[in-house]
Amino acid sequence: MNHSPSQPIGIFDSGIGGLTVAHAIRSLLPSEDIIYFGDTAHLPYGDKSEAAIQAYSIKITDVLLKKGCKVIVIACNSASSAAYELLKEYVRKDAHIINVIDPMVDFVNESFKGKSIGLIGTKRTVQSGVYDRKITELKASITLKTLATPLLAPMIEEGFFNNQISHEIISQYLSDESLSGIEGLILACTHYPLIKKEISTFYQNAYPILDSSEVVAVALKKYLEINRLENPNGTPSHHFFVSDFTQSFESSTRLFFRELVHLETHRLWN
Ligand code: DGL
């Protein structure tokens, strides 16, 4: 892999939820150029088949490779669980791929040995069993209790959080018996940092609520440092592409990126 520090970081998600990861990356690595791709034409990924998500992910990866990305971050749990291994094979030496699952599994290994931890995410992520498999492989006596919470991503996208409706839906899900006795909760969907506070309040702030955006940014920084790929340039450029533009997606960027960003259209299929 022969990359130069000045190449951009590619980040992709099914839509705009992955902007939570992009935001964490920009905060930790302010000198890096970022190219974000949200596959708004095909969201949500959470209830798509593995094969469909793999096909979309390959197309997006082609776009990011053409734009010269040195690293590609899969800022979506559904795509990380369905397409990470395939993308690694596909990209080979052309870029380094980082998913949102492995950095979280490493973090859980350090902090939850012998404990019981919960996980909420889309149907695709939960049914894939990828977290169960990777956490079992650690042999760290960690009990993982998972629950698919498919209403949460669309709820957040519609701006329903910190209100009565979101409280109701969140408490219904978190009261599910399958999550009983947990001592921490993994937010295995890049939309969920927006409801982290509400979730924490549900547990009366008694347990850590783990959001992958920060651990992924830290994993990326480590990779860049070890491989001497950090961009020393002080004037970074950021581009945000979507496969289907609507005004409402653009307005929602304010929620996920904490500021309004301009979305450029880039169709995956013509
Ligand atoms: N951001 C996606 C994830 O992390 C969830 C949204 C979707 O279903 O597309 O899984």
What integer pLDDT is reported at residue 204 of this predicted model? 97
Fold match between 9-99+214-265 and 102-212? yes
Pick the CATH number of 102-212 from 2.60.40.10, 3.30.67.10, 3.40.50.1860, 3.40.50.720: 3.40.50.1860
Distance 46 CA to ligand 1 centre (A): 5
Asked whether 45 and 237 are in contact (CB, 8 A), the reply is: no
Ligand 1 pocket (Cβ < 6 Å) reads 13-15, 17-18, 43-46, 76-78, 122, 125, 153, 189-191
Residue 45 has pLDDT above 80, yes or no: yes
Per the prediction, the chain carries an average pLDDT of 95
Over residues 3-10, mean pLDDT: 95
C-alpha 48/C-alpha 55 separation (Å) is 11
> How many Å lie between the centroid of ligand 1 and the Cα of residue 264?
20
Please report, for the chain, the start and end positions of each structural domain, with discontinuous segments joined by +. 9-99+214-265, 102-212
Q: Cα torsion at 100, 269, 257, 154 (round to 10°)? A: -80
Cα(195)–Cα(129) distance, rounded to whole angstroms? Answer: 23
What pLDDT, in 10s, does the model give residues 236-252?
999 999 999 999 899 99
CATH fold of 9-99+214-265 = Rossmann fold (3.40.50)
Residue-level pLDDT at 269? 87
- Examine the pLDDT at 199 and tell me if it is beyond 90: yes
pLDDT at 125 over 70: yes
Give the residue numbers annotated as catalytic, written as ranges.
Answer: 76, 189
pLDDT tens-digit readout, 105-122? 999 999 999 999 999 999
The string of DSSP codes covering 143-159 is EEEEEE-TTHHHHHHTT
